[in-house]
Structure 1
Amino acid sequence: MKKYKVGYTTGVFDMFHIGHLNILKRSKEQCEFLIVGVTTDELVSYKNKKAIIPHNERMAIVEAITYVDKVVPQENMNKMEAWENYKFDVMFVGSDWKGTEKWDKFEMQFKEVGVDIEYFPYTKGTSSTLLREALHKVVYFSEPVLK
């Protein structure tokens, strides 16, 4: 028997990598049913960037992961609205958010409705930001393909 019945996590999942897979795997290890919110292209702008992979393709990639039971679009940052829609009993999130004002507030709100927050460490050495930077260097410094 797993610790939680329904788990929820969100992410952009742009340029899917091992860190993404790790959080989905670790989340599923703790819950019977895992719902994953994939950030819409419009909402990605909160990170001051554009997604490289379109939202519908990122949804399809996450949906294909065996640890994931349901994929939903994440259209805003309102976690309580997500809870009202999906009634999860735990939210999984990266440890870089732990102790921030924003997540301390979420912890208080979720505690009132009996929802736990589990923080997972990010996978060291890989991130979409690092992949984006490497891709930019390759594109910026390489010779044009067509002349």
Structure 2
Amino acid sequence: MKVITFGTFDMPHIGHVKILNRAKELGDHLIVGVSSDDLNLFKKGRKPIYSQDERMFLINSFKGVDQVFLEESLELKREYILNYKADILVMGDDWKGKFDEFSDICQVVYLPRTPSISTTSVIEVVKTNHFDQEELTSQKN
């Protein structure tokens, strides 16, 4: 069984690892579509911290990931699923119902997200810790 999922995977974190591991458990071949820099800019209004090539390299390095490709358009999801001959589409449950339109070509599964973790929260922690460090350094001088 081939499983496909999609995401930006900017600043990979434990939530990404967990959902990819759970997706892999549903089949024997895991395919991951990594959003292009331009697609991420369109979706989120900002460029990712890591480039698309870096993010693809990181995701391809995860245990259980068998294949990675660049997702360049949201409108091409159906074609991606068909081209990669995916049996199952896996998405986080924050997208529940949004991909049901593909249930005519594959099984659609929404997996629970890891609580209290997101790329946005990781970025905020890094920014906060960075500024705290700068403040400590300036107080010492």
When the two structures are superposed, what TM-score results if normalisation uses the length of structure 2?
0.87
Q: State the Cα distance separating 1:137 from its structure 2 match.
A: 2.7
The one-letter amino acid paired with 1:23 is I
- Mapped pair 1:137 → 2:128: yes
Q: State the Cα distance separating 1:142 from its structure 2 match.
A: 4.7
Q: State the Cα distance separating 1:140 from its structure 2 match.
A: 4.6
- Any unmatched runs of 5+ in structure 1? none
Tell me, what secondary structure is at the counterpart of 2:122?
helix
Decide which of 21, 26, 38 is 1:25's aligned counterpart.
21
Decide which of 57, 61, 72 is 1:60's aligned counterpart.
57
Number of the residue aligned with 1:82: 80
The one-letter amino acid paired with 1:125 is S
The one-letter amino acid paired with 1:83 is I
The one-letter amino acid paired with 2:64 is Y
Decide which of 55, 64, 69 is 1:72's aligned counterpart.
69
After superposition, give the CA deviation of every residue in 1:31-81 in whole Å (9 maximum; x if it has no partner): 111100111111111112221111111111111112100010111113112
Counterparts of 1:81 and 1:15 in 2: how far apart (Å)? Answer: 27
Structure in which a larger fraction of residues adopt helix: 2
Counterparts of 2:134 and 2:82 in 1: how far apart (Å)? Answer: 51
- Mapped pair 1:43 → 2:39: yes
Tell me, what secondary structure is at the counterpart of 1:50?
coil
- Mapped pair 1:126 → 2:112: no
- Mapped pair 1:15 → 2:6: no
The one-letter amino acid paired with 1:112 is D
Counterparts of 2:47 and 2:130 in 1: how far apart (Å)? Answer: 17
- Mapped pair 1:116 → 2:128: no
Q: Which residues in structure 2 correspond to 1:86-105 (within 5 Å)? A: 86-99=84-97, 103=98
Q: State the Cα distance separating 1:90 from its structure 2 match.
A: 0.6
CA RMSD of the aligned region, Å?
1.7
- How high is the sequence identity, in percent, across the aligned residues? 38
When the two structures are superposed, what TM-score results if normalisation uses the length of structure 1?
0.83
Bigger mean CA deviation after superposition, 73-82 or 21-30: 73-82
Counterparts of 1:123 and 1:81 in 2: how far apart (Å)? Answer: 29
After superposition, give the CA deviation of every residue in 1:83-141 in whole Å (9 maximum; x if it has no partner): 23211011000001113xxx1xx313x2322x111111110121101011122333455
